[in-house]
Amino acid sequence: MVTALAFGIACAGATTASAETSQTLEAVKKAGAVKCGANGQLAGFSTVDSAGKWTGLDVDFCRAVAAAVFGDASKAELVPMTSQQRFPAIQSGEIQLLTHTVTATLTREASVGMLFAKPLFYDGQAFMVKKSLNVTSAKELDGASVCVKPGTVTEQNIADFARANGIKLEPVVIEQQQQVVEAFLNDRCVVFTDDSTALASVRSEQGTPDDFVILPEVLSKEPLSPGVRADDPRWFMIVDWVREGLVAAEELGVTQANVDEMKKSQDPAVQRLLGISGDLGSLLGLGNDWMYNAIKSVGNYGDIYERNVGKTSPLKQERGLNEQWKKGGLMYANPLI
């Protein structure tokens, strides 16, 4: 056991950091990897195939942060976890970044002790039923059983929805993603509820996606945001600004494909973003080429979206709320100056 412990304990050593540097950043650099907690079973956001290869929007964001810190996206280490495990994991420092399609809420920031970066994905909770039921509105679902994952805002939303509409819904709470889907497919529940994109993800994985209908009611606002522990504001800044950088890159037309050419761009905003001028990266305690590395590895926000959940992906999601602000969406990057 002593040997097992010796293998297992990676002592990060003395943590005497001044207010200027991020403790978490130091620990991450020392360990040589950014550890991100992710779902691992949700196509489009984070899945892991049988060879252990991770893909998805959450995964790409984790890689972007790793690239910004190390200049190497492969330094992202993804840890699969259930929704139960994610908060204790971030509280304890087992992971440094939570990319687990977490909805940012007040209670979570205040009570769990986290800070959420700006959303990576604006979503809303919806209901999915089998087409054969001929249901067109969630309000017709009085008495239905609803499959739902535990410990999620989702669980509270259905209780609120039922109360507001004077109907009864019976939750069937099952922990593992795959198992809750199985229960729904097997008719254990009439309804499956989750964020609508997650529902689309489940639907896309079935052989016959047309057998399922996602009902039009949107129960809630679900800003799915990367989260970090509240005690390290400098680390929060890094995560938050990587997200801003990815959105800004799309606005400025810097893509994974053209990022090398764009280095020669005369646009001062592009120059600052890619670290040709200014010292944005070093202000965060990173290399000045932080965003260049991130974009080179995973692309800008639009690239990430299209690859994982967009029209070309199996999920086939419109940009909707996640479109750039200039095109009517909510993706608006604060200025990188």
Partner 1 sequence: MTIQKIENIREVETTRTVGIWWNRRFRASIQQVIVILCLVAVVWFFASNAAVNIDRQKLNFGFDFLWREAGFGIGESLVAYSSQNSFAWAFVVGLANTVGVSLGALILTTVIGFAVGIGSLSMNTAVRRVCLTYVAMFRNVPLLLQLYLWYSIATGLLPAPAGAWNFLGIYVSRVGVYLPVVTFSPTPISALTSLAVAGAVSLGVWWFILQRNLSLMVVLSAAAIAAVAWIATMLVAGDAVIDLPVWQKFRFNGGMKFSPEFCALLLGLSVYTASFVAEIVRAGIVAVKKGQKEAAQALGLTSGQTMRYVVVPQAARVIIPPLTSQYLNLVKNSSLGVAIGYPDFVSIGNTTLNITGRAIECVAIMMAVYLALSLTISALMNIYNKKMALRTR
Partner 2 sequence: MRSKTKVSAGNRLITVLVFGVVALALYPLFRWAVIDAVWGNLGPEACKETFGACWPVISEKGSLIIFGRYPAAELWRPALASALLLGTAIVTAMPRFWNKALLLAWIAAPLLFLTLMGGGILGLSSVPSSQWGGLPITIMLSVFGIGCAFPLGILLACGRLSSKPVIRWVATSYIEAVRGVPLITVLFMATFILPLLLPSGWNISAMVRAQVAIILFTAAYLAEVVRAGMQTVPKGQFEACEALGISRFETYVKVVLPQALSMVIAPTINTFVTVLKDTSLVAIVSISELLMTARQALADPVWRTHFIEVYVFIAVIYFVFCFAMGKWSKSLERAYIFSKGRE
**The binder of partner 1 chosen from 17, 31, 79, 183 (CB under 8 A):** 183
Structure tokens at 139: 């309000």
Distance between the two ends of the chain, CA-based, in angstroms? 52
Distance CA 293, CA 288 (A): 10
* Smallest separation, CB 225 to partner 2 (Å): 22
Question: CB-based contacts of 199: which residues, under 8 Å, 6+ apart?
Answer: 126, 128, 192, 193, 214
Quick check: 41 binds partner 2 (CB under 8 A)? yes
**The binder of partner 2 chosen from 13, 143, 166, 335 (CB under 8 A):** 13
Distance CA 249, CA 291 (A): 9
**The binder of partner 1 chosen from 163, 253, 311, 328 (CB under 8 A):** 163
Structure tokens at 151: 């410990």
Quick check: 80 binds partner 1 (CB under 8 A)? no
**H or E, element range at 63:** helix 57-70
Looking only at Cα atoms, what is the longest distance across the chain?
62
Site residue total, partner 2 (CB under 8 A): 39
Cβ closer to partner 2: 11 or 337?
11
* Smallest separation, CB 50 to partner 2 (Å): 5
Beta bridge partners of 116: 227
Cβ closer to partner 1: 77 or 109?
109
Distance CA 152, CA 103 (A): 9
Quick check: 94 binds partner 1 (CB under 8 A)? no
Q: Which range in 65-73, 202-210, 262-270, 325-333 contacts partner 2 by CB under 8 A? A: 202-210
Cβ closer to partner 2: 74 or 258?
74
Structure tokens at 100: 């687990």
In the sheet with 41-42, reading across from the earlier edge strand, the strands are 41-42, 46-48, 54-55
Nearest partner of 269 among 289, 253, 258, judged by Cα: 253
3-class secondary-structure state, position 219: coil
Cβ closer to partner 2: 229 or 243?
229
* Smallest separation, CB 332 to partner 1 (Å): 29
Quick check: 178 binds partner 2 (CB under 8 A)? yes
145 binds, among partner 1, partner 2, none (CB under 5 to 8 A by kind): partner 1
Cβ closer to partner 2: 85 or 271?
85
Question: CB-based contacts of 305: which residues, under 8 Å, 6+ apart?
Answer: 57, 319, 322
Cβ closer to partner 1: 48 or 185?
185
Beta bridge partners of 148: 173
- Is residue 58 within 8 A of residue 47, CB to CB? The reply is no
Query: Among residue numbers 199 through 238, which ones bind partner 1 (CB under 8 A)?
Result: 229-231
Q: Which residues bind partner 1 (CB under 8 A)?
A: 83-84, 87-88, 91-92, 107-108, 111-113, 133, 141-145, 150-152, 155-156, 158-160, 162-163, 169-175, 179-180, 182-183, 186-188, 190, 229-231
Q: Which residues bind partner 2 (CB under 8 A)?
A: 1, 3-5, 7-13, 15, 27, 31, 41, 48, 50-52, 77, 79-82, 85, 88, 91-94, 175-176, 178-179, 182, 185, 205-207
